[in-house]
């Protein structure tokens, strides 16, 4: 019997693991403690990203965890792949590994979720500054 543990954010991303999207539902191949979420459009000087900080507001965001994944349901958005695909936008998470001290800045990471085309696959990348993309 093979025992598998929950995947760590950094390891999953460095190993090139991908997430996927179905309509307004994003699946990530790890568990995490989410602090903030931004949904931003690329190449737009006029539009500011939507900032989601109240993760308890079930009308805005649904959150569930499976054994090996985190699922984010963006209730106020339609088809994320169509809206953000072909490099039109991205989601940025400010998150920490599940179970670590979120008050220590070294435990917090910015994770960029990229929508490259209208397909289901998402790219995941650790970035230093979400305002310098």
Per mean pLDDT, which range of 2-11, 87-96, 118-127 is the poorest?
Answer: 2-11
- Of 7, 19, 13, whose CA–CA distance to 126 is shortest? 13
- If one counts the domains in the chain, the total is 1
Q: What is the pLDDT of residue 87?
A: 73
Q: What is the pLDDT of residue 20?
A: 94
Residue 66 maps to a domain: no
Residue 13 maps to a domain: no
Numbers of helices and strands, H then E, in the chain: 2, 9
Q: What is the pLDDT of residue 42?
A: 66
Q: What is the pLDDT of residue 1?
A: 40
Residue 28 maps to a domain: yes
Residue 91, domain extent: 18-52+73-127
Judged by DSSP in three states, 43 sits in coil
Residue 35 maps to a domain: yes
Q: How would residue 84 be classed by pLDDT, with cut points 50, 70 and 90?
A: confident
Residue 1 maps to a domain: no
Residue 133 maps to a domain: no
Q: How would residue 47 be classed by pLDDT, with cut points 50, 70 and 90?
A: low
The answer to whether residues 23 and 80 touch, using CB atoms and an 8 Å cutoff, is: yes
Residue 97 maps to a domain: yes
Q: What is the pLDDT of residue 88?
A: 81
Q: What is the pLDDT of residue 130?
A: 76
Q: How would residue 3 be classed by pLDDT, with cut points 50, 70 and 90?
A: very low
> Taking 60 as the threshold, does the pLDDT of residue 7 lie above it?
yes
Q: Which residues contact 117 (CB under 8 A, 6 or more apart)?
A: 81, 85, 86
**Pick the residue with more confidence: 52 or 118?**
52
């Amino acid at each position: 019997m093979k025992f598998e543990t929950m995947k760590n954010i950094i390891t999953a991303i460095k190993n090139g693991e991908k997430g996927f999207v179905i309509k307004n539902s994003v699946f990530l191949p790890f568990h995490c403690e989410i602090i903030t979420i931004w949904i931003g459009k690329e190449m737009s000087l006029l539009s500011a990203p939507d900032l989601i900080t109240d993760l308890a507001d079930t009308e805005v965001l649904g959150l569930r965890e499976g054994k090996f994944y985190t699922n984010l349901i963006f209730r106020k958005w339609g088809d994320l792949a169509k809206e953000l695909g072909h490099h039109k936008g991205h989601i940025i998470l400010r998150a920490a590994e599940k179970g670590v001290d979120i008050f220590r800045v070294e435990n917090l990471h910015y994770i960029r979720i990229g929508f490259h085309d209208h397909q289901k696959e998402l790219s995941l990348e650790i970035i230093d500054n979400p305002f310098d993309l």
